[in-house]
A and B are shown apart, each in its own frame.
Chain A
């Protein structure tokens, strides 16, 4: 693998993406929306008088953990935990759009044939495309997260809620799970993109990968399970394994000949 060629592919993808108005709009909106939703919600709940029954509505695992804390604080911690899950999927919107267009779009522009005629290997090409697709979304979601952390101090969130927002468990979610999920979705998008001729179809199929994650989010919301630090670490390890498998699968399934001769 040549880092120079991977860098060239990343450079191309980023420049191309920055000339796509839809993607640029997403890049601007993403940190704003993903920072605004938690901040507005957290500020709003401070205006609501706390109910004595609050802890009874929390997931049992969390309720046990927070027993003894005031109901207002319990609610803050619960909401912060939920918003942390939002940051798992926050980086996904941009990479999926870039990744699914990157192969299908190039094929449509007939730009893939001269590209494949260069010394670039399939591994270099897909690594470059995957990194270029994943990095902007991850960076912007981190930016949104840091904005929320700063603002949370500003609105004087309770110490337990702040600890949930900025602590080892949060870091695993933001700096490990977020990128791993993004890479998973990006690679899925690339694989689908190299097998179909319609970027929208590729995007829709690629997004299927986040359904199990939405399931986890909903399960926690309804109190069916609590994503503890250990469970999050296990999920991260599982995702890492899946990403490695998907990279190998993407290279295997990227059939240059089929892409060049069968796609019209």
Chain B
């Protein structure tokens, strides 16, 4: 590769920035011959929260470690804010806040000291004031002088999040930040994540919690050694299950089934739980006509409801099949 000028370098950097703050390009990782990750390609755009889903051993933690430059890919490349990330990219790590699967603190040291050391490692100006600001924000100031060993799991997770934010990074890589937390603590962490997203940070969130992924994620990626699906939850549903509408009829829906099936735009229809569940090509275009025809046929309609498959159904189907729709995001 020849030497490039500063302008060319800036142009390339800007081009990658336009593509995505985080970009994984055909990432493959083998451990002693075991394939942990296979040809993973995706990007996370500036200000986006991408939820990374997958069963245990799917390669989520490996993905985060590769993005963080903690381990080297067997093949493929990682770009962070347009710059290549390698294990030697120590300076580039300033742009990322990292929360590993196990927070990992110096247990005997007080919480404030744990944060202060990190602030100094990141070269944060006025580290003490930043530390105490964050401890206040995360509701830990009154326990700041206690050793971390005395902290509950929820407090540790909040402290870990504060640590990931100590240098105010534009990018966050978070590995299961709500795992093992009680519902109240998990809700609190989720609120924090929502607020961080609102601040325009780019976030990659590994999680097992499908509801969390749907609530927080702009898009979800489903991983099982390789990328099985990547899109918004609604798009994935549409690709997998099409668009469904349920029409509840007072009485037996069976007599109306044949008429419904003949309607243009209806892909399939079946009576289920006393109602007609109909897969349509386009909800807005087909549903009004469908309802009009049913009323004309004398069907006593009680309700018309769009049906949304849960992310859990979608996830399980994609994982079981082991292959999914091509990336469209």
Contact = CB atoms under 8 A, between A and B. Distances in A.
Contact of A110 (B70, B72, B102): B102
B307 interface: no
B105 A12 contact: no
Given A113-B100, A114-B98, A117-B98, A260 B71 contact: yes
A187 B104 CA distance: 25
B100 A117 contact: yes
B123 A16 contact: no
Count chain B CB atoms within 10 A of each CB in A19, A106, A113, A260 and give the residue with the most. A113
B106 A111 contact: yes
A257 B108 contact: no
A24 B190 CA distance: 42
Interface string A1-30: 010110111011001100110000000000
B70 A257 contact: yes
A230 interface: no
B87 A256 contact: yes
A7 B108 contact: no
B256 interface: no
B326 interface: no
Interface residues of B, number: 33
B163 interface: yes
Contacts of A257: 70-72, 87
A82 interface: no
A112 B104 contact: yes
B121 A119 contact: yes
A261 interface: yes
Given A5-B120, A11-B120, 5 more contacts: A110-B103, A119-B93, A120-B121, A257-B70, A257-B72
A20 B90 CA distance: 31
Query: Across chains A and B, which 6 residue pairs bring their CB atoms closest together, nearest first?
Result: A110-B104, A8-B120, A19-B108, A117-B98, A111-B104, A118-B121
B122 interface: yes
A121 interface: yes
Interface of B: 31, 65, 68, 70-72, 87, 90-91, 93-94, 96, 98-100, 102-109, 113, 117-118, 120-123, 147, 160, 163
Nearest to A5: B121
Nearest to A128: B121
Contacts of B107: 109, 111
Interface in A105-139: 106, 109-121
Given A117-B70, A117-B100, A4 B120 contact: yes
30 contacts: A5-B120, A5-B121, A8-B117, A8-B120, A20-B108, A109-B104, A109-B106, A110-B100, A110-B102, A110-B103, A110-B104, A111-B105, A111-B106, A112-B104, A113-B104, A114-B99, A114-B100, A117-B98, A118-B93, A119-B93, A119-B94, A120-B90, A120-B121, A121-B90, A256-B71, A256-B87, A257-B71, A260-B70, A261-B65, A261-B71
Count chain A CB atoms within 10 A of each CB in B70, B102, B147 and give the residue with the most. B70
Nearest to A116: B70
A33 B102 CA distance: 42
Count chain B CB atoms within 10 A of each CB in A111, A113, A118 and give the residue with the most. A118
Nearest to B88: A121
Contacts of B68: 117
Contacts of B121: 5, 8-9, 115, 118-120
A260 B69 CA distance: 12
A1 to B, nearest CB: 11
B153 to A, nearest CB: 14
B71 A16 contact: no
A20 B147 CA distance: 13
A8 B163 CA distance: 15
Contacts of B104: 109-115
A1 B102 CA distance: 29
A260 B104 CA distance: 12
Contact of B118 (A106, A116, A118, A256): A118
B108 A118 contact: no
Contacts of B120: 4-5, 7-8, 11
A4 B98 CA distance: 21
Contacts of A8: 117, 120-121
A15 B105 CA distance: 13
Contacts of B91: 119
Nearest to A110: B104
